[in-house]
Amino acid sequence: MWRLKSKDLTYTPSGCAISGILNTKGQRFSGDMVVKSIATMRFRSNGLGGGFAGYGIYPDNADQYALHVMYQTDEAKQSTSKLIQSLFHIWREEPIPTVHVKEIENRPILWRYFVTARAETRDRFYDMTEDDIVIKIVFDINRDVEGAFVVSSGKNMGIFKGVGYPEDIAKFYKIEQYDGYLWTSHGRFPTNTPGWWGGAHPFGLLDWSIVHNGEVSSYGINMRYLASFGYDCTLQTDTEVIAYLFDLMVRKHGLPLDVACKVVAPPLWTQIDRMEPEEQEFYKAIRSVYAPALLNGPFSIVLGHRNGMIGLGDRVKLRPMIAASKGDMVYMSSEESAILAVCDSPEEVWGAEAGQPIVASLDGAAVAANAK
């Protein structure tokens, strides 16, 4: 559903583009900045998908979950609205504002709801947190309602994506009219998955969002591991497992973010064998306990969350990741040119090392982290 016609699949694919921009003091800025950054890397995209995640964009509804939903039919919308209303109080609902862009075709119905769980819902699911209840309805909709797909479900954030070049998707959603303290973006080259509206990046769950350059060849193992904890992978893409893994490890299991990064991109066993005994014990433990959560394949990702962003590449650096900083601003991208397009004189520029996360947080600087 919501796919390009076969005649449109004649683009020459060349790669993926990712970009993220954070103000570490939480000051909001226009989404137009990240649009300029990602547009610089048009040659890395191919028109089969583009998207944006913005944080801090809904200050008037900051305490409510913002559900962005795509619908293929009015019937799907009616069924989903009834399901949401049965569990949540809907404070506000409306179409997601868009404008006509001739390059954007076959658009779905786009709707957003600002919700909180009803008191009776919390009593009914007394052993679940409100976050868990939100995840439940996301998976219920994606799995059970034909023609409906939840794009994002976090508080004070939203994901806007579709089939097209990212700069055209930005025009379509009027991204320049939103202000946020963190923006991530993606120009998509599908690897093992079709080009469709729901399959474009970013992928989100609660306030986690992922933009990804590369391929997750361990998708099958990761998917089965997540299923054992109640996470349903139904989105026809390898990237969805990354967002779910971070939610499981950090929110559910309580791992620090930097340690979760070491789970998905740990050192090779030959590297562990050369470490000091204490380090060996740590890495052997996480590789044993979380073996099915390891991500294989070439990748670089930018992980967005309510408190900042993380850039991470695979263990042998098969995909690029560049970072820069200036004042309170931190930038991460596939190419330095995308950073220079919005920051003409960065104070510091550096490349991500293999398997080493670059951590940028609110009220903090950007650092290359060696998690332990």
Q: How many CB atoms lie within 10 A of CB 56?
A: 20
Task: Provide the token pair at 42.
Answer: 């048009």
Task: Provide the token pair at 229.
Answer: 């904890």
Question: Taking the mean position of all CA atoms in its chain, how far away is CA 200?
Answer: 10
Contact in structure between 214 and 314 (CB atoms under 8 Å): yes
Q: What is the chain's Cα-based Rg?
A: 20
Q: Is 16 designated active site?
A: yes
Helix (H) or strand (E) holding 33: helix 32-39
Closest CA to 50 of 150, 145, 140, 167: 167
The one-character DSSP state at 46 is: -
Active-site residue, selected from the candidate residues 16, 233, 261, 343? 16
The one-character DSSP state at 190 is: -
Rounded Cα–Cα distance for residues 358 and 350 (Å): 10
**Beta strands at 109-117 and 366-368: parallel, antiparallel or unpaired:** unpaired
- Sheet bearing 50-55, strands edge to edge: 157-162, 50-55, 182-187, 17-23, 329-333, 322-326, 348-351
Give the residue numbers marked as catalytic.
16
